[in-house]
Chains A and B, each alone.
Chain A
Amino acid sequence: MSVVANPAAGVPYQFPMKDVRENFPAPLLYIGWEDHLMFCSPVCVPLPPEMPFGALVSQVLPGIYAEHPDFERIDWNTVQWFKSGKPWTPDPAASLAANGLGHKDVIRFRTPGLSGINGSCS
């Protein structure tokens, strides 16, 4: 029996969720670059919902990933996007919110032909 949800305990167990949207100045977005594990894990960034998706690519991603030698070789026209692991086509002119990105969504991008340091997915 789960301690916190045990009706036999006879005590309501209700506490606020710590990471709801209202607790942050801006919604969080998680971003991962497939096959480039020199960046050890996906990252977490707060981004204004009105930011155009194109600005995420041109303004935000370089600050995160430009140190990787593959980054400047990316052909953004061929990049494949995933939202919650499923293929997804964002509209660069539309805002993050209009693209359906909400608080704590996770997106990933794959850069075909680029597979990290010496092809090691690093």
Chain B
Amino acid sequence: MDTRVAKKKLGLKERYAAMTRGLGWETTYQPMDKVFPYDTYEGIKIHDWDKWQDPFRLTMDAYWKYQGEKEKKLYAVIEAFAQNNGQLGVSDARYINALKLFLQGVTPLEYCAHRGFAHVGRQFTGEGARVAAQMQSIDELRHYQTETHAISHYNKYFNGLHRSHHWFDRVWYLSVPKSFFEDACTAGPFEFLTAVSFSFEYVLTNLLFVPFMSGAAHNGDMSTVTFGFSAQSDESRHMTLGIECIKFMLEQDPGNVPIVQRWIDKWFWRGYRLLTIVAMMQDYMLPKRVMSWKEAWEMYAEGSGGALFKDLARYGIREPRGWKDACEGKDHISHQAWATFYNYGAAAPFHTWIPQDGEMQWLSQKYPESFDKLYRPRFEYWRERADEGRRFYNKTLPMLCTTCQVPMFFTEPGDATKICYRETSYFGNKYHFCSDHCQHIFEDEPEKYVQSWLPVHQIYQGHCFPEGTDPTAEGFDPLTAVLQYYEMNIGRDNFDFEGSEDQKNFAAWTGEKA
């Protein structure tokens, strides 16, 4: 029997140190560099990991306790929402399409982030960074699950929610978020944190989360709102990790500054391009609107982001290279993106529609410089056609940007009537881009982006048809074959909202006219 030795109880600070920093050790069987090969090969120099600040002072046991409590509350609300047929209380069945976009395009990113943070949580030699990354990895897995659960109730009643994970790896528009994260996860650990923790979480996350969650609140979706609340405290921890990581790298060695600057340039732009779908959701998919994309951009990006880059100037960091072009885009990208999904509404597993008169008026007010002049004529003409039973669908596959993989619908800075075309050549092959910034990203690492899985090109290479399809057979219909490969329910998940099963069902359930 062991003899009991009375141990002095650790103080708060010591306990924290023991439960985080105290978990690491210097390896002896193998050299540290061999065990942790990735935390030096990007060229980032760290002289003293002990300078890493742990802003939240959270240990794993406390983490489990907090998260467990939040979870209990969340699932109680989700359950009550289901019991009370909460789906009937949303503003309009069109709103569900914002949820489809979220479940298809955002939720799988939580899973990617979980994997990414698990990876970097293994690779850093500094224990503070490792613990923070591991906790975030668990957060992201939790978000993936709770979002799936919060939205799964809608899957019983609406189309377009039944196959999101399968779609994420196949459907053309989802290659935009997928390639964003795969680019980050295949980078080194410091670049990953700059990409996800700093550029995405710290600089841009408010532009993703606030619109979706306040949109949910305004449109009567308490299930999703409650998820938002349960994730919010995690998000602030994630943002703090982002800023801590950047400051740490910049303070450790002056040689890190140009490397970090290049990553900030790259990942600000990649994140901004990814947020195009949020801009569109905010301006077009919420029957009850919260604020315009332009207003959100001005508040969260130009306001908070502008102050941030002023603050980082003392380290020799300037605002990201694409900053001005991104600010100019605020008048345009939501309209251009919605018009694109309207063009290709046969091939995406959510519905599109023409804004109603009052909504067009709102758009005119919010976008006095651009909506009436450039975008309203497009929508009104499409409405005329739809009224005549000739709803417009674009039947030819779009040209994509090699870097962001978005169809080439973005316009020239300074001239929103001209598509922005950029191209470069690599070993005799041409590559095309939507902007100077996507071109720069490619030219910095062409070896990486020449491997891009561009959906349009993959379709033309014959890789996106169900197994056993013979594209040379008579009457072969490529679009149908691609949608079968996606495992979309053709006629239920896709096409216009007008005349959809969602529209008819919701009207019948709520006693309104379709």
A88–B420 Cα distance when bound, in Å, is 19
For A38, what are the chain B residues with a Cβ–Cβ distance below 8 Å?
Answer: 339, 378, 381-382, 392
For A34, what are the chain B residues with a Cβ–Cβ distance below 8 Å?
Answer: 418
For A9, what are the chain B residues with a Cβ–Cβ distance below 8 Å?
Answer: 41
The smallest C-beta distance from B394 to any residue of chain A, in angstroms, reads 6
Measured CB to CB, the residues of A under 8 A from B are 1-6, 8-9, 13-20, 23-25, 28, 30, 32, 34-35, 37-46, 63-64, 67, 84-85, 102-106, 108, 116-118, 120-122
The smallest C-beta distance from A5 to any residue of chain B, in angstroms, reads 6
For B252, what are the chain A residues with a Cβ–Cβ distance below 8 Å?
Answer: none
| B343 at the binding interface (Cβ < 8 Å) | yes
| B336 at the binding interface (Cβ < 8 Å) | yes
* Cβ contact within 8 Å between A18 and B377: no
Chain A minimum-CB-distance residue to B373: A120
| B49 at the binding interface (Cβ < 8 Å) | no
Measured CB to CB, the residues of B under 8 A from A are 41-43, 186-188, 191, 259, 336, 339-340, 343-344, 373-378, 380-382, 392, 394-400, 407-409, 411, 417-419, 421, 423, 426-427, 429-432, 444-445, 447-448, 450-454, 456-457, 460-462
For B445, what are the chain A residues with a Cβ–Cβ distance below 8 Å?
Answer: 2-5
For B377, what are the chain A residues with a Cβ–Cβ distance below 8 Å?
Answer: 116-118, 120, 122
* Cβ contact within 8 Å between B381 and A42: no
A122–B431 Cα distance when bound, in Å, is 26
Query: Known contacts A18-B452, A40-B407, A84-B421; can you find 13 more A-B pairs with CB under 8 A?
Result: A3-B445, A6-B41, A8-B43, A18-B454, A37-B339, A37-B417, A37-B419, A38-B392, A40-B394, A41-B340, A118-B377, A120-B378, A122-B375
A104–B399 Cα distance when bound, in Å, is 10
For A102, what are the chain B residues with a Cβ–Cβ distance below 8 Å?
Answer: 430
Q: Which 7 A-B pairs have the closest CB atoms?
A: A1-B43, A121-B417, A120-B377, A122-B378, A17-B450, A40-B340, A43-B396
- 13 CB contacts below 8 A, A to B, read A17-B451, A18-B450, A18-B452, A30-B399, A30-B432, A42-B408, A45-B396, A67-B392, A102-B430, A104-B429, A105-B430, A106-B399, A120-B376
A116–B376 Cα distance when bound, in Å, is 13
Which one, B426, B430, B450, contacts A103 given CB within 8 A? B430
For B394, what are the chain A residues with a Cβ–Cβ distance below 8 Å?
Answer: 39-40
The smallest C-beta distance from B409 to any residue of chain A, in angstroms, reads 4
Chain A minimum-CB-distance residue to B37: A9
A63–B395 Cα distance when bound, in Å, is 9
For B421, what are the chain A residues with a Cβ–Cβ distance below 8 Å?
Answer: 32, 42, 84-85, 106, 108
- CB-CB under 8 A for A120 and B374, given A18-B450, A19-B454, A44-B460: yes
A111–B453 Cα distance when bound, in Å, is 34
The smallest C-beta distance from B253 to any residue of chain A, in angstroms, reads 13
A117–B340 Cα distance when bound, in Å, is 17
Which one, B41, B376, B409, contacts A3 given CB within 8 A? B41
* Cβ contact within 8 Å between B447 and A4: yes
A104–B450 Cα distance when bound, in Å, is 13
A63–B397 Cα distance when bound, in Å, is 12
For B397, what are the chain A residues with a Cβ–Cβ distance below 8 Å?
Answer: 43-45
The smallest C-beta distance from A60 to any residue of chain B, in angstroms, reads 9
* Cβ contact within 8 Å between B187 and A32: no
* Cβ contact within 8 Å between A6 and B42: yes
* Cβ contact within 8 Å between B381 and A117: yes
Which one, A23, A32, A122, contacts B374 given CB within 8 A? A122
* Cβ contact within 8 Å between B447 and A5: yes
